[in-house]
Chain A
Amino acid sequence: MSDLARQQSDFQRGILTGDDSILAEIPDSQKENRATLFGVYRHAYSSRLVEAMGNDHKLLHIYLGDEMFDAMGHAYVAANPSQHPNLRWFSSSLPDFLRANEPYSKHPVLSDLAALEKALNDAFDAQDAPIIGVADMAGFAPEAWADLTFRTHPSAVRLDLSTNASVVWLALKGGDEPPDPVRLEEPRRLLVWRQDVSPVFRELGVEEAMMWDEAARGIPFGVLCSMLATYADPDSAAARGAGYLHGWVTAGLLAGVSGGD
Chain B
Amino acid sequence: MNVASSSPVSPTAARAEHPAPSAKPPFLGFGLGLRAQHYDEILSGDPPIDWFEVISENYMLPGGQPLRILDRIRARYPVVMHGVSLSIASTAPPNFEYLAALRDLARRVEPQWISDHLCWTGVHGKNLHDLLPFPYTREALDHVVNRVQLVQDYLGRAIVLENVSTYVQFNNSEMTEWEFLAELSRRSGCWLLFDVNNVYVSAFNHGYDPKAFLEGIPADRVVQFHMAGHSHMGTHIIDTHDHPVCEDVWELYAASLKRFGWVSTIIERDDHIPPLEEILVEVERTREIANRILPSPATQAR
Contacts and interface: CB of A to CB of B under 8 A. Distances in A.
A58 interface: no
A206 interface: no
Instruction: Kindly name the residue among B64, B65, B95, B98 whose own CB sees the greatest number of chain A CB atoms within 10 A.
Output: B64
B256 interface: no
B172 A85 contact: no
A contact patch SS: helix
A86 interface: yes
Contacts of A88: 57-58, 60-61
A87 interface: yes
A49 B130 CA distance: 10
Contacts of B91: 2, 4-5, 8
Nearest to B204: A31
A4 B137 CA distance: 9
Contacts of B63: 125-129, 154
A84 interface: yes
B171 A125 contact: no
Contacts of B140: 4
Given A41-B132, A85-B121, A125 B62 contact: yes
B269 to A, nearest CB: 16
B123 interface: yes
Interface stretch (B23-31, B162-170, B257-265): B162-170
Instruction: Kindly name the residue among A26, A27, A31, A85 whose own CB sees the greatest number of chain B CB atoms within 10 A.
Output: A85
Interface in A1-31: 2-5, 7-9, 11-12, 15-16, 25-27, 29-31
A85 B168 contact: no
B64 A125 contact: yes
Contacts of A155: 64
B106 to A, nearest CB: 16
Interface stretch (A32-40, A104-112, A213-221, A222-230): A32-40
Contacts of B64: 124-126, 128, 155, 194, 197
Contacts of A85: 57, 85, 87, 95, 98, 121, 127
B134 A4 contact: yes
A86 B85 contact: yes
A13 to B, nearest CB: 9
Contacts of B11: none
Interface in B113-167: 120-130, 132, 134-135, 137, 139-140, 143, 167
Given A3-B139, A4-B135, A5-B91, A82 B129 contact: yes
Contact of A48 (B57, B130, B143, B234): B130
Contact of B126 (A4, A12, A126, A128): A12
Contacts of B127: 82-85
A80 B286 CA distance: 42
Instruction: Kindly name the residue among B62, B87, B172 whose own CB sees the greatest number of chain A CB atoms within 10 A.
Output: B62
A194 to B, nearest CB: 6
A26 B62 contact: no
Contacts of B171: 25-27
